Structure 1
Amino acid sequence: MSSFKAGRRRRSSSLMYTEPTESLEHISDQAALPNLNAEWVNAKGILYLFVIHWLRNKWKVLIIFKLGAWGIHFVLIVCLKIFYDIMPGMTQEVSWTLTNISYMFGSYLMFHYVRGVPFDFNSGAYDNLNMWEQIDNGDQYTPTKKFLFFVPICLFLVSTHYTHYDLTYFTINLLATMAVVIAKLPMAHRLRIGLFSGQPDD
């Protein structure tokens, strides 16, 4: 146990450190219960359900849909775009750039900055892992992680197209996208930047 604690210590002058692998106790705690924080991300797309019912002597068709975690990204992007479009004096170039920056900031904050689980049902088994590392038990190149990897890239390409390839907007969109995409690469797995995150917990 003391070697595990010593492995977590880092020098205060280090800006980057790698989160060490979990102890056997943490691994058994993680296997004991499902991780509800990361399991919802695997809900794909939009499921349409047609309900036919009888109302006032007529057959009516209701379309009920359940929005999955994959579909919510597109809804968020569309809502951000509409929000920035209704602001007075907003050009399309600025609107697309702000949509890109807002989505990238939210994505980085949710998947790569915040560590742990928002509710206490697994005794802190995931306290030192961010959500990206919790998805699919940290496996790389799963369908969910591929989808979450390509959404920022596609948004970057769309925003670059609608900003008419202007160099200033391109640079801003590229930097925002690179911050999110680099954090999703396997080389950044368990890598922490000390400037943005605190000391690791024991």
Structure 2
Amino acid sequence: MSGPPGLGRTSVRAEAAGISPVSSANADARASLSETSPSRRLGRQSMRSATTNKNVEWISSPGAWAFYVGLLALGWLAISFFVDSGLAWTIVHLVHGIASFWLLHWNKGSPIESDQGRYDQHTFWEQMDSGVQNTSNRKFFMLVPVVLFLLATHLTDYRRQPLGLNLAVLLVLLIAKTPAMHKVRIFGINKY
């Protein structure tokens, strides 16, 4: 029998098939490693669920972004029945800015009882993606106010008053979302 010692029958079968005995042995080893027992898989799932922040994990679920954009579109549609299109986008942008600042950057903690106070000092934004910066979720939530700003300013023909309001809301939201502001409390506001 040729080939490296210790390969036994694997090398004989591999040579008969015209395959290098070493690669066949490696393939057998990989196959045995890839087979995991159900108890090991269950252990990994329970460990993953114990470390997953249920307060923010919904953001990574399929359809969360579409639902978010759909809510904004429905808000615009409801408001546009009463005012012109540009002003409706301005109202949507302002309401979205106030609501998202309050929900993402002001409220702290998690309503999930099993978190046991682990996230009491963190805002929703700080909890998102375990605090990792520049993820696709964070980029999406930075893009939404920019798109709303562009829609609102363009459709109001860049009139002075809506432009100033829209720009102020955009700047506050974008500054709050920058990595430099992660876990920063300006002048100690909202520290406790």
1:122 Cα deviation (Å)?
1.4
Tell me, in whole angstroms, the C-alpha distance in 2 between the residues paired with 1:184 and 1:126. 18
User: If you compute each CA radius of gyration, which structure gives the higher value, 1 or 2?
Assistant: 2
Query: Taking structure 2 as the reference length, what is the TM-score of the superposition?
Result: 0.70
Cα RMSD (Å) = 2.0
How does 1:175-190 map onto structure 2 within 5 Å? Answer: 175-190=168-183
Asked if 1:34 corresponds to 2:52, the answer is: yes
How does 1:58-137 map onto structure 2 within 5 Å? Answer: 68-87=63-82, 90-137=83-130
Secondary structure of 1:83's counterpart equals: helix
1:91 Cα deviation (Å)?
2.9
Corresponding letter in the other structure for 1:39: E
1:194 Cα deviation (Å)?
5.4
Tell me, in whole angstroms, the C-alpha distance in 1 between the residues paired with 2:89 and 2:130. 34
Secondary structure of 1:36's counterpart equals: coil
Secondary structure of 1:37's counterpart equals: coil
Tell me, in whole angstroms, the C-alpha distance in 2 between the residues paired with 1:93 and 1:157. 11
Contact 1:93 1:169 in 2 (8 A): no
Structure 2 unaligned regions, length at least 5: 1-48
Report sequence identity in percent: 31
Tell me, in whole angstroms, the C-alpha distance in 2 between the residues paired with 1:195 and 1:81. 36
Q: Residue deviations 1:96-116, cap 9 Å, x none?
A: 211110111111111111100
Asked if 1:43 corresponds to 2:61, the answer is: yes
Corresponding letter in the other structure for 1:136: D
Tell me, in whole angstroms, the C-alpha distance in 1 between the residues paired with 2:117 and 2:94. 32
Aligned to 1:172: 165
Q: Which protein has greater RCO, CA pairs closer than 8 Å, 6+ apart?
A: 1
Secondary structure of 2:103's counterpart equals: helix
Contact 1:140 1:186 in 2 (8 A): yes
Secondary structure of 2:115's counterpart equals: coil
1:93 Cα deviation (Å)?
3.2
More strand by share: 1
Tell me, in whole angstroms, the C-alpha distance in 2 between the residues paired with 1:149 and 1:174. 14
Secondary structure of 2:114's counterpart equals: coil
Instruction: Give the number of equivalent residue pairs.
Output: 145
Structure 1 unaligned regions, length at least 5: 1-30, 45-67
Contact 1:33 1:122 in 2 (8 A): no
More helix by share: 2
Query: Taking structure 1 as the reference length, what is the TM-score of the superposition?
Result: 0.66
Secondary structure of 2:56's counterpart equals: helix
Q: Residue deviations 1:58-100, cap 9 Å, x none?
A: xxxxxxxxxx21112211211111221122xx23332221111
Aligned to 2:141: 148
